[in-house]
Amino acid sequence: MPTELPFKRGAIELLILKTLSWGPMHGYAIAKWIQDTADDALRVEEGSLYPALHRLENKGLVTTSWGLSENNRQAKYYALTPAGRRSLREEIETWVQYAAAITKVVTATRQPA
């Protein structure tokens, strides 16, 4: 089992937006998809998930509606808005550039001048 990794600032919102790019989901399904996709290295706890979802909703990046979950229970479903899709594209680009820059530095084999 891999070591659970801490979240970096802004990462949880990006992961939620990416998860919702597949379609509307309720909170538990969002957390489960992230955990499963990351092979258990990332775990989104309720205390982080729901405040992040509320922030995204307040920014107009996700909308909510009520529906039935897989086990026939009422659940709040979250879905991306068009602004959420645009934000996701921008955030992915920024994150990939940031990760590439960090990787260059931490894997450098040339010492400073």
- Show the domains of the chain with their CATH numbers: 11-106 (1.10.10.10)
DSSP H or E run through 73: none
Question: CA–CA distance from 27 to each of 90, 92, 96 (Å)?
Answer: 23, 21, 26
- Per residue in 30-86, pLDDT (tens digit) is 999 999 999 998 888 989 999 999 999 999 999 999 998 888 899 999 999 999 999
Cα–Cα distance between 22 and 18 in angstroms, integer? 7
Which H or E run includes 17?
Answer: helix 11-20
pLDDT 10s digits, 74-84:
999 999 999 99
The one-character DSSP state at 110 is S
pTM of the predicted protein model: 0.85
Q: Mention every residue, 6+ apart, whose C-beta is less than 8 A from residue 26.
A: 67, 69, 75, 76, 77, 78
